[in-house]
């Protein structure tokens, strides 16, 4: 059974492995030339860039969700205003449902 297979059953097992060290050993075993490997500074820069991209994607998704919620809320308010129901009647109706 491979480490990745064990990791699917026991994910915490993967915490034991230093993936950077393991990756460097695999690259050496496979004959990757030293000049084909990134130094730690380059690795850190790549990871930082990836983290920033992920944060930007999350922020964009959150902005999209917020915009949709505002749009939907605005449509609901517009429909309510167009229905002719006044705010007090709506509040009484909602209070009667929730209480």
Number of domains comprising the chain: 2
Question: Whole-angstrom Cα distance, residue 91 to residue 69?
Answer: 21
**Exposure pattern of 37-49 as b/e (b: 16+ CB <10 Å)?**
eeeeeeeeeeeee
Same domain, 29 and 1: yes
pLDDT at res. 99: 46
Domain membership of residue 54 (yes or no) is yes
Domain membership of residue 57 (yes or no) is yes
**For 8-57, how does the pLDDT look when each residue is reduced to its tens digit (9 = 90+)?**
999 998 899 999 999 999 999 999 999 999 999 999 999 999 999 999 99
Give the range of the structural domain holding residue 17, as residue numbers without chain letter: 1-37
Domain membership of residue 70 (yes or no) is yes
């Amino acid at each position: 059974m491979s480490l990745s297979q064990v990791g699917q059953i026991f994910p915490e097992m993967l915490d034991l492995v230093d993936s950077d060290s393991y990756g460097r050993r695999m690259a050496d075993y496979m004959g990757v030339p030293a000049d084909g490997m990134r130094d730690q500074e380059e690795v850190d820069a790549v990871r930082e860039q990836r983290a920033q991209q992920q944060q930007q994607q999350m922020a964009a998704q959150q902005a999209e969700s917020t915009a949709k919620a505002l749009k939907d809320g605005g449509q609901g308010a517009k429909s309510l205003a167009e229905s002719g129901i006044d705010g007090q009647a709506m509040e009484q109706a909602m209070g009667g449902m929730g209480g």
